Amino acid sequence: MLKEITVGQTRVGMHVHAFSGAWIDHPFWRARFTVASDEDLRKILDSGVRALWIDTDQGRDIDVAPETPILVAEASQPEDLSPAAPPQAGLERGLCEVELADAARLCRTAAPRIAAMFGEVRMGKAVDRDLCETLVDEITESVSRNPTALVSVARLKRQDDYTFMHSLAVCGLMVSLGKHLGLRGRELMNAGLGGLLHDVGKAHVPLEILNKPGKLSTDEFGVMQQHPRLGEALLQSVGGVDASVVDVCLHHHEKLDGTGYLQRAGEQISLLARMGAVCDVYDALTSNRPYKVGWNPAEALRRMAQWQGHFEQRVLHALVALIGLYPVGSLVRLQSGRIAVVVAHEDASLLTPKVKAFFDTRKNLRIEPVLVDLARSGCHDAIARYESAGDWNFKDVDAFWCPAIP
């Protein structure tokens, strides 16, 4: 069972499930571990962290008098949880139908403009800088109201608009992540522009390769690998584009260990390019395509955390803190045996979102969809683990939480 305790209640033998607050606020390289020594305990006490979550099923319970209240999470530990995802780190509280509808409207209006811009570039015209900055301003306004509504909606891509919606989503992620990392003003605008234009070089990739609905051949992949350099050349030819924006375009496929497209490594990769790499991969992994169902957001983050030498850990940790523990659109199994999709967060605890249950695993059949507020007093259900829509062959999960995007 998960329990939130104050840092002063921590004891040797407890299994730390997560720290309350951002990952970078504590001295450990991971947030999930057993306090094995007095040295571990001292580091926690000296860290400045005020509270943390322990898992009493894997370690020592709290020493407490019977009359002392304990904050108990209404959820067992999920079986497939991304390491160190802080229960209180996400910023998706208050995600509601109005915000999702606003995000869907922005997708409907922005995607055609991005498509037109790519089309003009394909015909040899220059990138419209004024249009790009206007789009970044609109996207920034959206993510300022809610950091993840736009990104959640933009995951629902069609084959014919994948590149444009991907650019929109990565822009939104870059702005949200940039704010989370302390970027402001022109730096934040450049982060957004880098996300919006990171794939502009694909305008010069043959359409039969760009739109191929399956795995690319070795030769085709070699052509696709040229898009960062093609994008760099395009942006440099325009003039007036900040060097940091061009750098994101050129280096968003680099890895810290030097095994990326251009084999840049470590400090050779700028912060914005490191952010671009994380945002680009996250959106690609979680997006639905005609030939594959996107990964659950939490599953994508868990897998990304396992790729040694790929991402800047500080940036990846910040993305997890931004996306949260149970992002809207996540498929989960409840302790009651029902399968549900997360539809909103309106409570301070990210362990208890609102979900819509629509399948009973005990009877192996669909049920009438019912909204369950896991944070409501008297609710006896809770999230047990994540599920994959692909495993169940569910095709309509997104219809439970997202407005239609014609």
CA distance 336 to 107: 36
- Cα distance between residue 231 and residue 153, in whole Å: 26
CB distance 135 to 110 below 8 Å: yes
| Mean pLDDT of each 10-residue bin along the chain, 406 residues long | 78 80 46 78 75 81 49 34 32 54 86 90 87 92 82 74 89 93 92 95 90 87 95 88 95 95 94 97 84 77 89 90 78 94 69 90 93 90 86 81 62
Give 24-75 as a DSSP string: GGSSSS-S-EE--SHHHHHHHHHS---EEEEETTTSPPP---TTS--EE-SS
- Residue type present at position 7: V
> Exposure pattern of 203-217 as b/e (b: 16+ CB <10 Å)?
bbbeeebbeeeeeee
Rounded to whole angstroms, how far apart are CA atoms 304 and 293?
17
pLDDT of 84 = 32
Residue 94's closest CA among 320, 375, 317? Answer: 375
Q: What is the pLDDT of residue 359?
A: 96
> ∠ CA 239-241-247 to the nearest 5 degrees?
120
CA distance 45 to 15: 15
Q: Helix H segments across 287-376? A: 297-306, 313-323
- 3-state SS, residue 370: strand
pLDDT value at position 66? 37
Q: Pick the closest to residue 325 from 292, 294, 347 (CA basis).
A: 347
DSSP string of 237-291, one letter each residue = HH----HHHHHHHHHTT--TTS-SSS---GGGS-HHHHHHHHHHHHHHHHS-BTT
- Residue from 192, 395, 385, 212 nearest 293 by CA: 395
Amino acid 251: pLDDT? 97
Contact (Cβ atoms closer than 8 angstroms) between residue 170 and residue 253: no
| DSSP structure class, residue 156 | -
pLDDT score recorded for residue 190:
95
- pLDDT, position 73: 36
The whole-number pLDDT of residue 81 equals: 30
Q: How high is the pLDDT of residue 138?
A: 92
